[in-house]
Structure 1
């Protein structure tokens, strides 16, 4: 082998190493691009979920004891949006809350996020240990959204 053959072999080796290095770098870059695309998709879905959540009110109820004989039902909005036209729907079986007690407070024109309203509850010896309340409201996400809640003594 002559000197020029050695130089050509060295150039071919350097060229091969450069080709291999470029190929592995491109593969790593493609893998990174795939990860970036997946990360962007996840961030977009989170953003859409947060936006949808910010338009929803979550109206619920719970019963609590003030003192030895006084009970109240608290209707509250734990969602991020304002609830409008909040209605408390009672069935014929309901004994804890009378329609006379709620007629002055419901339907409420609006119940803001974090706001609540208390209603006196009637608890006596024949009161069932749990009852079902249906709460219906409107918000930015839709009309006549409903939550059925069991309140317990």
Structure 2
């Protein structure tokens, strides 16, 4: 075996090692690229969800006892967007909120974030302990959004 054959064999062996290491590095880079693509997809989804949430109002209501015999129904918006055209839908058997009381304040044109409105509630001995109330509104994310709330005494 001559020196030239030995050098050629050594060069071939070194190039074979370089080829194997390059393949391993390419596989690793491919996995890293796949993870980066997945991360970017998650970031885009999160940004889209956040943008949608920023356009959504969250209107709800709570029955509060003011003093020994007075009750108020408080309708409020906790979402980041303003609620527009807010409507109360009272069930026929609703005995807590009188329709003429609600019709004086509703439909409301706008309810900003953190803003609320109170209605007089009439709780008496024959009042149902649980009643359902539906609130409908529009916001920048859509029309006729609804929240169905169980009011308990």
TM-score by length of 2: 0.94
Query: Could you tell me which residue of structure 2 aligns to residue 50 of structure 1?
Result: 50
Moved segments of 4+, more than 6 Å: none
Question: In structure 2, what is the Cα distance between the partners aligned to 1:119 and 1:136?
Answer: 16
Deviation at 1:24, TM superposition (A): 0.6
Question: 1:4-35 CA distances to partner (integer Å, 9 max, x unpaired)?
Answer: 12111111111111111111111111100000
1:1-153 equivalences in 2 (<5 Å): 1-153=1-153
Deviation at 1:119, TM superposition (A): 1.2
Question: In structure 2, what is the Cα distance between the partners aligned to 1:91 and 1:27?
Answer: 64
Deviation at 1:104, TM superposition (A): 2.2
Question: In structure 2, what is the Cα distance between the partners aligned to 1:107 and 1:56?
Answer: 19
Question: In structure 1, what is the Cα distance between the partners aligned to 2:53 and 2:63?
Answer: 26
Q: Once superposed, what is the RMSD of the aligned Cα atoms? A: 1.2
TM-score by length of 1: 0.94
Question: In structure 2, what is the Cα distance between the partners aligned to 1:34 and 1:120?
Answer: 59
Secondary structure, aligned partner of 1:104: helix
Deviation at 1:150, TM superposition (A): 0.8
- Structure 1 gap ranges (5+): none
Secondary structure, aligned partner of 2:80: coil
